[in-house]
Amino acid sequence: MNTQPRRARWAVASALGLAVLLVAAGCRTADSGTSTAVTTTQPAKDGGTIVMAVDQETDGWNPVVSQWTNAAYWVGSSVIEPLTTYDEHGETVMWLAESITPTVPGKFDSWQIKVKPGITFHNGEVLDADVVKANLELLTNGKALAGIALGTRFVDFPKVDDRTVQVNLTLPWADFPAFMAGPTGMMMATEQINAPYGGLGHPIGTGPFVFDSWVPNESLKVHKNTKYWRPGEPHLDAIEFRPIVDNKKAISALQNGDVDLVVTSKAGDIDLAGQGYEVSKDFKTEKTFIVINTEQHPDLPANPLRNLHARRALALATDRAAVRAQVGAGQELETSTQIMVTGTPWAVPEDQTAYYAFDVDKAKQEVAAYQAETGGQPFEFELNTTNAPDDLAIAQMLSDQWKAAGITARVRPKDTQPLVLDTVTGKFDAVIQRNYGYPNPDNVTPLLLSSNAKGPGALSVNFMQLKDPVIDQSVAAIMATTDRNVQREQYLTITRQMNEAAVNQWLYDTPFAVLRIPAVKGTETLETHAFGNSMPKPWLWGGVWRE
């Protein structure tokens, strides 16, 4: 595989994926999603293979360097595992790590990571302190754009003993273990790390399956890890993952028996598939919303959304119920107006978030206030989106809604790479995005800091370019304590600040679902763990079996 021409694109793309790079895998309580799946008490059987369709190809299999979206984690988690993950309440639990504890009890500016004994990578390397150190150093050596947001948090990673690495930080980080549940906590063998471009074409992990082959845009195959560290797992002999971008083609492949599972974020696929399939739903984790750029890019026409009245007008003129009805295709969707995930310790009731209710008359008043402040400038802006038909339909629907309030939106569909580049460099007015699927919202805080709003033309992970000292203070308070009540109040403050500024125009909670044939068993974790997000899923593949 020729990786050289793609390397730069992958690096830039992964900045937009700070939603990806800063993810925290998560679980939900029983009321945070709905499913029609049938669980089983049958004993697992060994043998057999399955084929899974995912809705996107990935540019490489190094989770720190490549652009890993939701689709990549279904695939990559079969091979590469994180140090931690989450329980059904959204709290961090150990996975490859035996423990992650403060170096000095009660202080959070230094942590010690101790890995479990006896775990080996697929190439025979031992998971030890040296490997963990090599993985963590990717955060600061310039190979990962996570350093844009996080590099200044780390001082060094001294080795304590054969299984323990110390992580010294520049400031307290009380929920640091949650960060190790994301891609930067996924442990790769040093052979992969040291390979050209981080071994993008050949992942080497500790997972239940071993990488076989990858034909981009066609198939990635893995086979059973007979030396897996979790006794009795895995059960399957092999898995094949096929990227099928067209959701209708994926459903057709399921109906024709070409694939056994389909993961989708299109609610209509549930009815499209028809009867005879088991369905697991996660409709309450990730949010779909419009990111507003509060700065002016010099290469674009005047951006009216720099003005607070304009942003308020847009929020008031958005009929979210109508959008949900179109997207839901008969499924019941909700709109969360906070960065916290329903059912986790940090979530608050929606009536506390102080977001704007749909009101066209008030929207018109805000348009008038905008024009009064700007000398009668027209309210016209560009709305960026992908060129996928469903996304275009949503964008056009929004544009039509806003016209009733005197707002003109020029819909700009773009291929993924230009859309990514424009977003991370601030070359946009507004863009439809999916994010905030983190059970522990600590992982989203870098996206909100003033220090990460670098201005037009620079790579920024604060896409809103919002510089709010109240948010900065709340983030500092959150990082200094593990008290969930204190953290919840600070996250509520952050949410209200963002909602008052109308920098995230909330649309709907993304309707993720997994459809599968009844012969696929051992998927009970899909009923307890949130899977509608871009995060590792170490809790899944080891237990799956085929009847």
pLDDT by 10s per residue, the chain, length 547: 333 333 333 334 344 444 334 333 323 222 334 444 444 568 999 999 999 999 999 999 999 888 888 899 999 999 999 999 998 888 899 999 999 999 999 999 999 999 999 999 999 999 999 999 999 998 887 555 566 667 689 999 999 999 999 999 999 999 999 999 999 899 999 999 999 989 999 999 999 999 999 999 999 999 999 999 999 999 999 999 999 999 999 999 999 999 999 999 999 999 999 899 999 999 999 999 999 999 999 999 999 999 999 999 999 999 999 999 999 999 999 999 999 999 899 999 999 999 999 999 999 999 999 999 999 999 999 999 998 888 999 999 999 999 999 999 999 999 887 898 899 999 999 999 999 998 899 989 999 999 999 999 998 989 999 999 999 999 999 999 999 999 999 999 999 999 999 999 999 999 999 999 999 999 999 999 999 998 999 999 999 999 9
Residue 42 CA, chain-centre distance (Å), reads 33
What phi and psi, each to the nearest 5 degrees, are found at residue 242? -120, 120
Integer Cα distance of 534 and 437 in angstroms: 7
Integer Cα distance of 90 and 109 in angstroms: 23
pLDDT reported for residue 148: 64
pLDDT reported for residue 372: 97
pLDDT reported for residue 201: 97
Integer Cα distance of 108 and 91 in angstroms: 17
pLDDT reported for residue 14: 40
Tell me the two tokens of residue 120: 């080996």
C-alpha dihedral sign at 276, 278, 284, 285: negative
> Cβ of 253: how many Cβ atoms within 10 Å?
18
Q: What residue type is 38 in one-letter code?
A: V
- Model pTM score: 0.90
Residues 124-137, buried b or exposed e (16+ Cβ, 10 A)?
Answer: ebebbbebbbbbbe
User: For residue 253, what are the contacts with CB-CB under 8 A and spacing of at least 6?
Assistant: 53, 242, 244, 259, 262
Integer Cα distance of 285 and 270 in angstroms: 18
Do 13 and 530 contact (CB within 8 A), yes or no?
Answer: no
CA nearest 197: which of 10, 428, 332, 354?
A: 10
pLDDT reported for residue 417: 77
CATH number of 31-79+207-283+511-547: 3.40.190.10
Domain 287-509 has CATH 3.10.105.10: yes
CA nearest 98: which of 125, 73, 132?
A: 132
In angstroms, the first-to-last Cα distance of the chain is: 36
What does the domain layout of the chain look like in residue ranges? 31-79+207-283+511-547, 80-200, 287-509
Integer Cα distance of 69 and 56 in angstroms: 8
Q: What is the DSSP string of 429-468?
A: SEEEEEE---SSGGGGGGGT-GGG---TTS--S-TT----
Integer Cα distance of 452 and 469 in angstroms: 13
Helix, strand or coil for residue 194? helix
Tell me the two tokens of residue 346: 């940090």
What's the pLDDT tens digit per position in 414-471?
Answer: 988 789 889 999 999 999 999 999 889 998 999 999 999 999 999 898 999 999 999 9
pLDDT reported for residue 88: 84
Domains 80-200 and 287-509 share a fold: no
Provide Rg for the chain, Cα atoms: 23
Beta bridge partners of residue 264, listed in sequence order: 513
Decide which of 2.40.50.100, 3.40.190.10, 1.20.1300.10, 3.30.1280.10 is the CATH code for 80-200: 3.40.190.10
> Cβ of 357: how many Cβ atoms within 10 Å?
8
Helix, strand or coil for residue 508? strand
Do 283 and 511 contact (CB within 8 A), yes or no?
Answer: yes
Do 334 and 324 contact (CB within 8 A), yes or no?
Answer: yes
Token pair 């989106």: residue: 385
Do 393 and 356 contact (CB within 8 A), yes or no?
Answer: no
CA–CA distance from 210 to each of 176, 185, 203, 326 (Å)? 29, 19, 9, 41
Pairing status of strand 186-187 against strand 81-82? antiparallel
